[in-house]
Structure 1
Amino acid sequence: MAENIEEILAEIDGSQIEEYQRFFDMFDRGKNGYIMATQIGVIMNAMEQDFDEKTLRKLIRKFDADGSGKIEFDEFCALGNGYISRPTLKGLLHEIAPDLSDKDLDAAVDEIDEDGSGKIEFEEFWELMAGETD
């Protein structure tokens, strides 16, 4: 893994940045330009990266370059790795689109989990959110 946020961002292409922005905006509901540290635990759990409180604080300190206790967009991009489980993805989709039926949610999850592994790469989830699945 790259040592700092600038190195990580240099490895991300423009289309990924747009996807990350869309996903970031889903969590930045107040459109404040940041995600509170308390939300980072929820996001990490969605990525099936379960951390105890101490480890989570260390992770936030590592990526919260300005020490604000908030994760701004560039810092958020550096966090974007890991996997999302099928049940977690279904739950996230339900939060985003509460009018979708269970059948529609299952179909959306099936579409992105093509290999049936039960794990969706986080980038694939962003592609789904950006409407870029095949």
Structure 2
Amino acid sequence: MDQPKNVEYSLYLFMDELSGERLADYKLRFEQLNRNERGVITITELSDMVRSMGETPSDKELKEIFKASDLDGNGEIDFKEYCFVMAQFENDEEREICDIFKMFDRDADGYISEKDLLELLDNSAFKSERQAVRRLIDSVDCDGDGQINYDEFLALMKSALDYPSLE
């Protein structure tokens, strides 16, 4: 199998695994970028999108991003390539959120407790009152166990960071 067919087959398998909700979200975002309405994103459209987000990469950096996203090397990013790159980006973001959760989970029991938060805050420049910590936990604690589990933390981070596609 030559390289483009192998890439195409891999992308086909990847697309088959995406949830309907995530796929619909990607489709909406792709269509917003795809101003030429040819079903592909050009380097100009990618550049405009990145710069509209307040980022200022050099032309060289943009070309590197584009090249890494153009998996079949045809000079355009199609919908499948876009989905693959977005999923990789979101997986990186979720790993970062997981690392933050582990930092807050001081005793590594899988929960962020009041004790964990107070200990973390007491060791920082942000001394906090117990009542404020309790209110924070209560506002995030969906299952009412008095602690923040990973799913509750992820929901908080998705809301705070506006990552609607993270699952």
TM-score using structure 2 length: 0.41
Which has the bigger relative contact order, CA under 8 A and spacing at least 6?
1
Larger Rg: 2
Tell me which protein shows more strand as a share of its residues: 1
TM-score using structure 1 length: 0.49
